[in-house]
Each structure stands twice: as C-alpha cells, then as structure tokens.
Amino acid sequence: MDNYKEASHHFYNELINFSRGKILNEEDIIRLLELSFKENKLKDLEEISFYAKFTKGLLRIIQNRDNSIDDEYFEKVKKEYSDNIQKVKSGVEVIISSGSNFIQEIFREKYFQLTHESLSNLNNLCSDLERIKMYFNSLKERKN
C-alpha cells in the first residue's frame, strides 16, 4: 500500500473515533484525505475545514432566525454564508483537481450543481469537514 494511503486511512480511522462515527460522506472524505496526503495538501484541507466549520455556524444562525435578529444583520450573515460556502467549494476543487476525471465528476455532480439537492449534499460535506477541523484542533491541543 502506498504511504499516502496508509496515512490517509490512519487519519480517517482516528477521525471516525474522534467523531464517534458521525461522518456522513465516508467515501468522499476518504477521497479528499487520500488526495490531500498524496499531493501534500493537508494545509488546504485544514483551511477548507475552517471555512466549513464557519459556514455551519452561519447556517445555524440562518436556520434558527428569530425576530430579534434585524434584517441588515441577517443579510450580512447570508452573504457571509454564501462567500464561505464558495471558499469550501473552491478549496475542494483544488484538492480534487489532481484526482481522476471520475472523482472530479463525482464531486461536480454531487456537490457543485446549482440545485437544492447539491446544496444539501454540500452542507452535509461541510458537516464532515467541520468534524475534520475539530479533529485538527484536538491534535494541536495534544501537542501543547
């Protein structure tokens, strides 16, 4: 087995333990991890996971909006959500650009279409990436 595959699968197994098995897009996360390790793009993955975590926080504000949030603030939150979801998409595209055409097509069809289903899939991917960010944070805490 190639070194990057071993490293990515070890990372994934640790992530599964850390997240108590709550990864929604198992195969796609493994693909992202393998490409990140193979192409030395772990920093890119960590950056994407930061934006994904931020995006999930913004989405929670949008979904739980109550009357105490004024319209101007709400519009700002929606714009930040849109900007950050685009950063996640762009970052994922960078990572998968070194993958096969098959992998790129899977991600394009599943996450990058302008459809409700695709946006829902992308939000689920952001949930997985948010867990990766929390795992990265826990690794940093262990080192300190």
Residue 142 has pLDDT above 90, yes or no: no
Which residue do the tokens 């805490």 mark? 141
- Helix and strand numbers, DSSP H then E, in the chain: 6, 0
How far is the C-alpha of 95 from the C-alpha of 56, rounded, in Å?
Answer: 21
Give the list of residues 6+ apart from residue 5 with CB closer than 8 angstroms, or none: 34, 37
pLDDT tens column, 62-106: 888 777 778 899 999 999 999 999 999 999 999 999 999 999 999
Average pLDDT, the chain: 94
In terms of phi and psi (left: phi > 0; alpha: psi -120 to 50; beta: otherwise), the region of 40 is left
**Where do the structural domains in the chain lie, given as residue ranges?**
3-143
Total residues found in the chain within this entry: 144
Percentage, residues of the chain above pLDDT 90 = 86
pLDDT at 133: 97
